[in-house]
Amino acid sequence: MTLSKFIKEKRKSTGLTQPELAEKAGVGLRFIRDLEQGKESLRLDKVNQVLKLFGFKVGAIPLIKDENEKS
């Protein structure tokens, strides 16, 4: 499970569109798109700003061990 997929699924299951999520999270629409598109060079605080809506946050350890997880 990637971060992008996680966000996308959460958004869908909440019945939100990208513009709606962007507004609720207080970020730009472009950011949501980049995020769901799997762009890696995103700012951590913005990512957390979005995750917070779903009760999660990156930047809290422990993290997942990196064993070449795919997709």
Partner DNA sequence: TACATTTATACCCAAACGAGTATAAACCAA
Partner DNA sequence: TTGGTTTATACTCGTTTGGGTATAAATGTA
Q: Is 33 helix (H, G, I), strand (E, B) or coil?
A: helix
The single residue listed with the structure tokens 């970020």 is: 27
Q: Which is nearer to its own copies, 15 or 70 (CB)?
A: 70
Comparison of 22 and 67: residue with beta carbon closer to DNA: 22
**3-class SS at 15?**
coil
Query: Cβ of residue 46: shortest distance to DNA, in angstroms?
Result: 5
39: left (phi over 0), alpha (psi -120 to 50) or beta: beta
- At which residue do the structure tokens 């957390």 appear? 48
Contacts with DNA, 1-40, as mask; x by CB under 7 A: ----------xx----xxx-------xxxxx-xx-xx-x-
Per CB under 7 A, residues contacting DNA are 11-12, 17-19, 27-31, 33-34, 36-37, 39, 41-43, 46
